[in-house]
Every structure is written in structure tokens, then in C-alpha cells.
């Protein structure tokens, strides 16, 4: 189960992912911070998985995730789409 984060700031979403260990939904994209695999994953609205970034170094991961969220909110699609 993930948390609907459409109305949250990028910083709030980062905290939920990296600190609280929650998965979130942003504009139809499921985002998961997977410490075990060392990857921040997404699933787009068509069910296609992809990697956003490695989880380390943390500051680089944060930049990549915040950029991903901003791009998704601006209407950019990630992964194959029909």
C-alpha cells in the first residue's frame, strides 16, 4: 500500500521515502525507496517499472528523486507508454 502524495511537497515526499520507508503515489507513479536493492524504483501508470537512481550517495539520490517528481508533475512521462 502506498500513500497518495499528490498534494505533498517534494521535501515531504523525500522524507516519507528515505526516512519513514513509505512508498508513495505521485501523479499516477508509484515510487519506492528500496534499501535492500539500493535502488529507488518507480512504476508508471501503465505498470512499467523503472529505476530512478541508486539510494547512495544519499544527497545524489535526493536530487534525482526530487527532479523526477518535479518532471512528473510537469507532465513528463517515464518508461514505455502506449
2-59 confidence digits (pLDDT tens): 788 889 999 999 999 999 989 999 999 999 999 899 999 999 999 999 999 999 999 9
58 assigned to some structural domain: yes
What total of structural domains would you count in the chain?
A: 1
Closest-CA residue to 61 (of 70, 50, 52): 52
* Direct distance between the N- and C-terminal alpha carbons of the chain, in angstroms, rounded to an integer: 26
34 assigned to some structural domain: yes
pLDDT of 64 reads 96
30 assigned to some structural domain: yes
pTM score, whole prediction:
0.90
Grid coordinates representing 82 are 502506449
Amino acid at each position: 500500500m502506498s500513500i497518495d502524495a499528490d498534494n505533498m511537497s517534494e521535501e515531504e515526499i523525500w522524507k516519507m521515502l528515505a526516512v519513514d520507508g513509505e512508498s508513495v503515489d505521485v501523479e499516477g507513479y508509484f515510487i519506492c525507496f528500496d534499501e535492500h536493492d539500493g535502488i529507488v524504483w518507480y512504476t508508471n501508470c501503465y505498470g512499467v517499472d523503472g529505476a530512478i537512481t541508486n539510494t547512495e550517495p544519499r544527497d545524489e539520490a535526493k536530487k534525482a528523486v526530487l527532479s523526477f517528481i518535479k518532471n512528473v508533475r510537469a507532465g513528463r512521462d517515464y518508461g514505455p507508454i502506449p
